[in-house]
Chain A
Amino acid sequence: SQQGEEDPQALSIQEGENATMNCSYKTSINNLQWYRQNSGRGLVHLILIRSNEREKHSGRLRVTLDTSKKSSSLLITASRAADTASYFCATVDNYGQNFVFGPGTRLSVLP
């Protein structure tokens, strides 16, 4: 799973399988966001979940948030080769001032 100071994780799966990526954080948050980054490219905002929400869906994406455990997960269902990318979680604190990225997970979806 991702944490702010750890090396990025790597995950390889076959096309069609589900991919689950985890993220943990240390402080109280206002919201948590997931981003995708293709190699050498900018960030694409995927989904945002607020601290008072437990689960959110967007297409093939499902995000959960457990504030008691200070953790979140991103599930990509029925993965495709085009989902190959790095995925980062980022937390925003209660003051909306600090935006902290996790180390990321490099997902490889094999055709």
Chain B
Amino acid sequence: GAVVSQHPSRVICKSGTSVKIECRSLDFQATTMFWYRQFPKKSLMLMATSNEGSKATYEQGVEKDKFLINHASLTLSTLTVTSAHPEDSSFYICSARDNTGQSGLVIYNEQFFGPGTRLTVL
């Protein structure tokens, strides 16, 4: 099956710093990538949807200036948490989908999830 990786898997930073999280599709071209946030013992909440080469679409309540998303290539999307604060500490998960059908993975609109990144802001 399709593989999505995330880097780093875990990051600890000081308040006020910016943190970049990478999401890569390893064996298919991800025309659409999604970023989710998960608080402890809670479900995943969609933050934003990004299509390669265009601006991300943010969900209501998500600050686009704080959570910068760049989907510059068909295999890489980045989420940058700017001026991080302790309340930004969370588990961030990306997913990727191939909308073109070229990889044969678009059937059923399946998303492939990365392993997640644990962000802790001190």
Chain A residues packing against B (C-beta within 8 Å): 8, 30-31, 33, 35, 40-43, 45, 48, 50, 88, 92, 96, 99-104, 106
Listed stretches B61-69, B76-84, B112-120; interface member: B112-120
Known: A35-B113, A42-B114. 12 other contacts (CB 8 A): A8-B43, A31-B109, A40-B118, A41-B116, A42-B115, A42-B116, A43-B44, A45-B110, A99-B46, A101-B36, A101-B45, A103-B42
Residues of B11-44 whose CB lies within 8 A of A: 34, 36, 41-44
| Interchain CA distance A100-B109 in the complex, whole Å | 13
Task: Decide if B58 is an interface residue (CB 8 Å cutoff).
Answer: no
Please report the number of residue pairs spanning A and B whose Cβ atoms sit closer than 8 angstroms.
48
How many residues on B have C-beta within 8 angstroms of the other chain's C-beta atoms?
22
- Can you report 20 A-B residue pairs in the complex whose CB atoms are below 8 A from each other? A31-B108, A40-B91, A42-B6, A42-B113, A42-B115, A42-B116, A43-B44, A43-B113, A45-B112, A45-B113, A48-B108, A48-B110, A92-B109, A96-B109, A99-B46, A99-B111, A101-B43, A101-B45, A103-B42, A104-B42
Within 8 Å CB of A96, what residues of B?
Answer: 109
Main secondary structure of the interface of A (DSSP, over half): strand
User: Which residues of the other chain, A, contact B108 by a CB distance below 8 angstroms?
Assistant: 31, 48, 50, 92
Most B-side CB within 10 Å, residue of A33, A48, A96, A99: A99
Residues of B within 8 A of A48 (CB): 108, 110
Cα(A88)–Cα(B41), bound, Å: 12
Complex: how many Å from CA A102 to CA B44? 8
Q: Report Cα–Cα, A53/B86, bound state, in Å.
A: 44
B43-A102 in contact (CB<8A): yes
B48 at the interface (CB under 8 A from A): no
Question: Within the assembled complex, what's the spacing in Å between the Cα atoms of A40 and B10?
Answer: 10
Q: How far is the CB of B54 from chain A (nearest CB, A)?
A: 15
